[in-house]
Structure 1
Amino acid sequence: MKIMIVDDDALVCQSLEVLFSREADMEVSAIASDGKEAIDVCLNNLPDVILMDIQMPNMDGIQATREIKRRWEQVRIMMLTTFKDEDNIRLALRAGAEGYMLKSTPATNMAQQIRVLVSGSSVLDADVLKTITRNQDSSEDMKILTNREQDILELIAQGHSNKEIASQLFISEGRVRNTLSIVLSKLDLRDRTQLAIYYWKRN
């Protein structure tokens, strides 16, 4: 997979490039120092996944994420930052980021987390998850879901792909996709990331 690193800290970029060079299935295809440069790079060298810092000059990571997802919806974006405050987390997820990982994440875990992200699942650092679910009350709206819909919601929140869910529940991938669409509609949510957040708020 092709990875773009977007960070204004050259040392961070170099360290990540060395880390991913050890992975047979990963290639750092581009490095950008701010959001505007990242968009320019995407025009000629579209990556599979982008590791995006938040605070950068010219254009921050949240603005860049919003614009990149508008133009190239298929690109997966993982925020990789030191910030774990609720405002930044929510803004990044609303902008379209599918993952949010802290720079303090052990290097051995980063590559695997990126593979999970590219497979179609959302990735939220444990500390990030605690931040956005803190002081949230349980809600009655889970009751509008059938037992099967709740089963699929739980497996999505645990990071399973449609194929894995179908295998565990002994149903077709098509039924998983259809049920997922129904759950999103019932809960008025946009995507798997929001579903995972919704689930963990209530559990």
Structure 2
Amino acid sequence: MNLESERTQPSIELGVVDEVRIMLVDDHAIVRQGLRSVLEREHDLRIVGEASSPAEALPLVAHAQPQVVLLDLKLSTSSDSEGIDLCAELTARHPGLAVLVLTTFLNQDLVLRAIRAGARGYVVKDVDTSGLVRAIRDVSGGGSAFDPRSAAAMVSGLNAPEALPELTSREREVLQLLAHGLSNRLIGKRLFISETTAKFHVGNILRKLGAASRAEAVYEASKLDLL
């Protein structure tokens, strides 16, 4: 069987196959190069940009408008989960964007935090090529994608006793400004984000704290020593 002809056959029979536009975000250039080499062998996958840090990723995503961001969680030596904050920021700014976490780190807390930050999928870096390609196609189509170990960690976390609300560093910044009575517009100006993004973070804070209003959120946060 000729695998190459089998892969390209759909474009012959059905016309041009819709491309999935992908952004790679990983702090290691060699990892990005390897992913590009592997993924662009697929007729329907196209890499439209690469970034090594949140500072690079945010403007590049806005410019290139990918459908999927393949995101590592560790983007610097100072944090093992910097990518989670970036995930929350990206999904707030681009509601239709599918973030797929691809990382070496796997534990219950990280999987749940990634999901709460808006990730549609979570796979570890020892996934085989076919599994990664399938995950990308699944999240680009509006679905979710988890490898077996990530799925098990997620189920275990959802069944665990309820813990304190896990706020991202950005949400903690917004919460501090909420406590000072700032509006969404002023929060956005103070943090150099849009009013819409500020509103998204406020909504997440209210949801995580089980609050019906901004004042109640501040009250609940103070009881939990989050302020």
TM-score range, shorter chain: 0.5 to 0.7
Counterparts in 2 of 1:132 and 1:38: CA distance versus 1, 3 Å:
same
Counterpart CA distance in 2 for 1:80 and 1:74 is 19
From 36, 41, 64, give the equivalent of 1:45: 64
Shift of 1:43: 2.2
Shift, 1:135, TM fit: 8.0
Q: Please say if 1:97 is aligned against 2:119.
A: yes
Alpha-carbon contact 1:49-1:118 (below 8 Å) kept: yes
Q: Which amino acid counterpart does residue 128 of structure 2 have in structure 1?
A: P
Deviations 1:55-96 (A, max 9, x none): 113892111110111110111000000111111111111000
Equivalent positions of 1:24-35 (< 5 A) are: 24-35=43-54
Q: Which runs of 5+ in 2 are unaligned?
A: 1-19, 161-209, 211-227
Distance 1:136 1:118, change over 3 A: closer
How far has the Cα of 1:133 moved from its partner?
2.2
Q: Which runs of 5+ in 1 are unaligned?
A: 139-187, 189-203
Structure 2 counterparts to residues 104-143 of structure 1, below 5 A: 104-134=126-156
**Is the partner of 2:135 in helix, strand or coil?**
helix
TM superposition shift of 1:44: 1.3
> Could you say if the C-alpha distance between residues 14 and 93 of structure 1 is closer, same or farther in structure 2, counting changes exceeding 3 Å?
same
| Alignment-mate amino acid for residue 39 of structure 1 | L
Equivalent runs, 1:80-91 vs 2, <5 Å: 80-91=102-113
Give the conservation status (yes or no) of the 8 Å contact 2:72–2:103. Answer: yes
Cα distance in 1 for residues equivalent to 2:144 and 2:135: 9
Find runs of 4+ consecutive structure 1 residues off by over 6 angstroms.
Answer: none
Task: State the structure with bigger RCO (CA 8 A, min sep 6), 1 or 2.
Answer: 1
Check the 8 A contact 2:85/2:117 in 1, yes or no: yes
TM-score, normalization: structure 1?
0.64
Q: Secondary structure at the match of 1:105?
A: coil
Q: Is contact 1:5–1:28 with CA below 8 Å preserved after alignment?
A: yes
C-alpha distance in 1 between matches for 2:159 and 2:66: 39
What displacement does 1:109 show? 1.8
Structure 1 residue 136, shift from structure 2 partner: 6.7
- Aligned residues, how many? 139
**SS in structure 1 of the partner of residue 48 of structure 2:** strand
1:76 and 2:80 are equivalent in the alignment:
no
Q: CA deviation at 1:137?
A: 5.7
Equivalent residues of 2:108, 2:157 under 8 A apart = no
Task: Give the Cα separation in 2 of the matches to 1:74 and 1:20.
Answer: 22
- Cα distance in 2 for partners of 1:135, 1:18 equals 35
Q: Tell me, in whole angstroms, the C-alpha distance in 1 between the residues paired with 2:41 and 2:158.
A: 41
